[in-house]
A and B are shown apart, each in its own frame.
Chain A
Amino acid sequence: MYYILAFIAGTLTIISMVTNSTLAKYVGTAQSTLVNFITGLLVSLVMFFFFNNQSLAFISFPLWALLGGFLAVFIVIITNLVIPKIPAIYTSLLIFVGQLLTGIIIDFLVNHSVNSNKIIGVSIIVLGLFFNFMVDKKDNKKEINLKDEISIS
C-alpha cells in the first residue's frame, strides 16, 4: 500500500514539475514558486480545517524539522542555477543519485543499521538510471545531427 503511494507521489512530482515550469515561462521561476506555495498553502488550510483532529496544544519538537519548507525553496533556486550550466539529463541523473545515497545515509542514521539489500538495490537502480541516461544522450545527438542536416539543406 505505502509502496503504491510512494510511486504515485513520484508520478505527481513530474506533473507538478511540468505545470510549474510551464508557469515559469510566463512569470519566471521565483514567481512560479511563489504561486506554487500560495496554492499549496490554501489547499493545506482547507485540508487542515476539514481533517485536522489533533488539538493544537504546544508540542515540543526538534526545531530543525522546520527546515523542510525552507529547503523546498532552496532546492528550486539551486536547480535553476545548475540547469543552464550542465545538460538537463545530467542534472536529473545527478539529483537522483544524490537523493538515493542520502536516503540510505539518513535511514542508517535513524535506525543505526542498514541492510545490504538496500545498497544492492540502489546500485541496480543507479545502473538502470545510467542506462536510460545513455539512451537519452544518443537520441539527443541524433536529433542535433538531424537539425544540422536540415539547416544545411
Chain B
Amino acid sequence: MADYKAVKIEKGRGGWGGPLIVKPTADRPLIYCVTGGGIHPVAQHIADLTGGEVFDGFKSSAPFDKIAVAVIDCGGTARVGVYPMKKVLTVDIHATSPAGPLAMFITEDLFVSGVKPENVTPVN
C-alpha cells in the first residue's frame, strides 16, 4: 500500500487559477499526463512528491475516476476544458486562462495554469 502525500500546486508566472491541493489515493492514484513528448517534468515532480503513479494518456487510456490530477500542455482551446468538465483536477503547464467552448467548466478550484516544477510544493 503506497503512502500518499499531499502537494500544493500554485499558478506560475502569467498563470490562472488554483492553488490546488492534490493527494492521490489508492482509488485515484494516477498523475495523468496528456502532453507532447512523454511524461512532462511537472507530472513527474508531482508523482515524486505524492507517491502517485505517472501515466501517459497518449500511450493508453484510464478512467476519469482513477485520476488524481491531469497534467496537460494545452494551448487554450480543448484540453483545458475536458478534464475540469469531468471534475478532474487539471494542471496546464502553459499559462492559459479560461477560454474556448468549454470555458464554463474551468474554475479556480479545479484548474491551475502556468505551472512549473517549482510551483509544486509538499504540504505538511
> Is B truly associated with A?
no
